[in-house]
Structure 1
Amino acid sequence: MRMIATGMLVAMAVLFLAARAMEPSHAAWGFVRAFAEAAMVGGLADWFAVTALFRHPLGLPIPHTAIIPRNKDRIGDQLASFLRDYFLIPVVVARRMRRMDVASAAGRWLANPTGGSKRVTRGASRLAVEVLQSLDQERLGGMVRGAMVQQVRAIDLSPMLGRALEAAMAENRHLPLLDGIIVWARKVLDANDGMVRAMVHERAGAILRWTGLDETLSNKIIDGLDKMLADMAEQPDHPMRAKAEEALVTLAADLQHKPEMRERIESLKLALLANPAMQGWINGLWEQARHAMLRMARDPEKLLAGKMGEMLRQLGETLERDVRLRNTINRFMRRVAVGAAADYGDVIVGLVSETVRGWDANTITQRLEHAVGKDLQFIRINGTLVGGLVGLGIHTVDVAL
């Protein structure tokens, strides 16, 4: 369009020269000359006007040119004020949000994500990936780890463990655990048979060792322990199982009500959190979660095809059916938007103003010039044509008078 506008100006100059040369031969050429002459003036004037908005014409420091670069800070402040006064007002945001049914739109998309706009899915996917990759992973990971550790530190673990144990025992959910402990104890006894025999041998007297009774004693101890554990595993009413359950009841009560037990659990929790192995485990949890989020974001269609997709579709169908739920979500979104406008409106306005101030003159010139685009060149084209018609009209009136 710039070439077309410039080409028209050159064409008018050529036409003016030709008409001026041919004017003595016929009076009609005077009208052509008048049109071309005025068209050149109009085209040059509008070229100057358009150029003066963004830069100095021909690089000459003519006053009141390069208007936008010289006033970019004021433009940024005015734009920020315009946003604050006409857009980021809580009343305006609430009125606009009241006309938007965010929940219905979300419900339709969730109920049929593959049949909806692929552009929305791909755009959300790209945005999620870019956000996850652009964040400082070391810093973000440290924040996540710190938040996790802080949450665990704030938990009063002892009463929680006591209540959990008490609830499990009330519903007999502790029995599989007790059975597992008994089976594990039998395996430990079997695996450490030699160690038990060595301990009996070392602690037995010389007479027992000389007569070989220490071996008999070892066999009796091992066999007795093994039989007791086997009986405990097979007999739900075994006395030792009852003793174990009594101990668990006492432990549940101590965990909830005994200050010294709570202190021991708290010390154990803090020591565990300070352990490098635990820190490494937490780091691994965060990295696994981050990689999982990246995989889901890069392949949203695969995610939507799995169990997560089925859950999202059910949520979408529920949103489509349940009017009360939709109203609740829309009300929540409206409050969030109004709250953001009220709390962060000045921050957004300041961000706009500071961003424009931070641009250099060439950046803002290029961005505004590209944003307006062809219309700038149409101003030049229209100026050339209108100027020519005005010149033609003036010449006609002059000849008539």
Structure 2
Amino acid sequence: MQRSPDLIEQLDRSTDQLKRARLRSMQLLAVGLLLLAALVFAVARSQRGGHPAWGYVEAFAEASMVGAIADWFAVVALFRHPLGIPLWHTAIIPNSKAEIGRSLGAFVENHFITEQGIAERIVQADPAQRLGAWLDDSTHAQQLGMASAGVVRQLLSMADHEKLGQLLRDQASSYLGQLNLSDVAADCIDALIADGKPQELLDFLLDRGAAYLDDDSHHAAIGDFVLGAFQIENALIKKALKAYEPRMIASLQKFSIAVRIAPDHPLRQRIAGWIADSALHLKADPHWQETVRRYQLQLIASDTVQAMLGELWDNVSARLLADLHGEQPVLAQAIASLARNTGKVLGTDFHARQWLNDAIVAGSATLVRRYRGEVGAFIASRLDLWSKEEMSSRIELAIGRDLQFIRINGTVVGGLAGLLIHAASQAF
């Protein structure tokens, strides 16, 4: 398959060949008219004494030759020295190449690359509408998603993961260090209280405790716990406590059931008060806040947390790369969905389209102000790359065919002028 530059070069050559052929045909036509005028002049000259009309024909033909030659000289003098003779003020275009480049660049800058002109063209083109229609096409959205995923995959493969991991760990540590954990904890407690979660948690614990107490296999462990808690070593006291163990467990069961079935039990109120007081202390007690802050910083600086934060980038990048190497990456699908939604918004929301078009117009005005001066310099520099002969040849191919009509018109108009002059001379 041919590369695009090769194809463009072939098209340019074909266009130049066509223009050159058309120019050549017009040149031959102009030369043919000159030769025809010369032939008519010779015939009329030879027959001048035969009839007065031949004088008019001779005058027409003679003036036609003068007009044709004069206009040939004028046209040729634009591009080269006529007959190779370096006459004054000929070969105008090649000798003025630098000035033409500067003038052309200034003309384009002043009349085409203007803020108003570019803005009007953007408004007419309505790029927001075009972009919306393009993005709303599912094929285009999928292509954009896959292309974006490919770019991200390439960027990840070239990234310095060690530096990125260190950066992410430092940023996460800084963010966690700036977090006011006291306020967060207090807000969480307030939210839990508002939803009745502490009472639900107490009910759960009471239910689990009652179930534990109902299981006879746990009674011995309960008794041993009581003996260990009071550090009782006397065998008589141990025996007495063991004897009261069933009554103690029954009393605990009765108490837990009483708390469980009574929404207004004093213990419930006392626990709710403790929790509410904790939220108030976290919000307003400097000592509590300083204690939480100290433990927070100690936890963040601990080896365990730092190791977790250090592995964060490795885990994220590994998961992301695994997704990007799949046939249908989630990232590509997300970008495609975002593109389609953007296209739908631009297609249906006039204000969104107007905002985007206005933004493009504003951006174009900034670019025009910043780079307009470089447009003329660019045009002039490109023309400087051409030789005088190449520039003359290119301009002649562009407008030379139309200039041949000057020669043709000169032949006809010159002949008519000569005819009128001859007629006037004969009349007076």
TM-score by length of 1: 0.53
Query: Which position in structure 2 is the counterpart of 1:371?
Result: 398
128, 135, 145: which one aligns with 1:103:
128
363, 373, 378: which one aligns with 1:336:
363
Query: Which position in structure 1 is the counterpart of 2:87?
Result: 62
Aligned runs of 1:343-382 on 2, under 5 Å?
343-382=370-409
**What value does the CA root-mean-square deviation take over the aligned residues?**
4.7
Query: Which position in structure 2 is the counterpart of 1:327?
Result: 354
Q: Work out the CA distance in 1 between the residues paired with 2:409 and 2:395.
A: 21
SS in 1 for 2:47: helix
SS in 2 for 1:34: helix
7, 21, 33: which one aligns with 2:46:
21
* Residues 135-160 of structure 1: CA deviation (Å, up to 9, x unaligned): xxxxxxxx979985599659722257
Q: Alignment identity in percent? A: 35
Contact 1:22-1:29 at 8 Å conserved across structures: yes
Amino acid at match of 1:258: A
**2:301 maps to 1:258:** yes
161, 169, 174: which one aligns with 1:158:
169
Query: Which position in structure 1 is the counterpart of 2:113?
Result: 88
364, 385, 395: which one aligns with 2:412:
385
Q: Work out the CA distance in 1 between the residues paired with 2:67 and 2:408.
A: 9
* Residues 72-119 of structure 1: CA deviation (Å, up to 9, x unaligned): 1011111112222233333443344344422224445666799xxxxx
Taking a change above 3 Å as real, the CA distance of residues 387 and 71 of structure 1, as seen in their structure-2 partners, is: same
TM-score by length of 2: 0.50
Mark the structure with the bigger radius of gyration: 2
72, 76, 84: which one aligns with 1:51:
76
* Residues 342-399 of structure 1: CA deviation (Å, up to 9, x unaligned): 1211222211111112211112112211221421111111111111111111111111
Q: Work out the CA distance in 2 between the residues paired with 1:161 and 1:312.
A: 31
Paired residues, what number?
262
Cα shift at 1:315:
5.2
Query: Which position in structure 2 is the counterpart of 1:78?
Result: 103
SS in 2 for 1:327: helix
SS in 2 for 1:88: coil
Taking a change above 3 Å as real, the CA distance of residues 24 and 323 of structure 1, as seen in their structure-2 partners, is: same
Taking a change above 3 Å as real, the CA distance of residues 390 and 152 of structure 1, as seen in their structure-2 partners, is: farther
Taking a change above 3 Å as real, the CA distance of residues 48 and 256 of structure 1, as seen in their structure-2 partners, is: farther
Q: Work out the CA distance in 1 between the residues paired with 2:84 and 2:106.
A: 33
Q: Unpaired runs of 5+ in structure 2?
A: 1-25, 141-153, 177-295, 326-332
Contact 1:158-1:256 at 8 Å conserved across structures: no
Aligned runs of 1:200-279 on 2, under 5 Å?
257-258=300-301
SS in 1 for 2:49: helix
Q: Work out the CA distance in 2 between the residues paired with 1:348 and 1:262.
A: 57
Query: Which position in structure 2 is the counterpart of 1:233?
Result: none
Contact 1:255-1:262 at 8 Å conserved across structures: no
Q: Unpaired runs of 5+ in structure 1?
A: 115-120, 122-142, 165-252, 273-277, 289-305
Amino acid at match of 2:167: D
Q: Work out the CA distance in 1 between the residues paired with 2:115 and 2:161.
A: 35
Q: Work out the CA distance in 2 between the residues paired with 1:157 and 1:311.
A: 26
Contact 1:159-1:255 at 8 Å conserved across structures: no
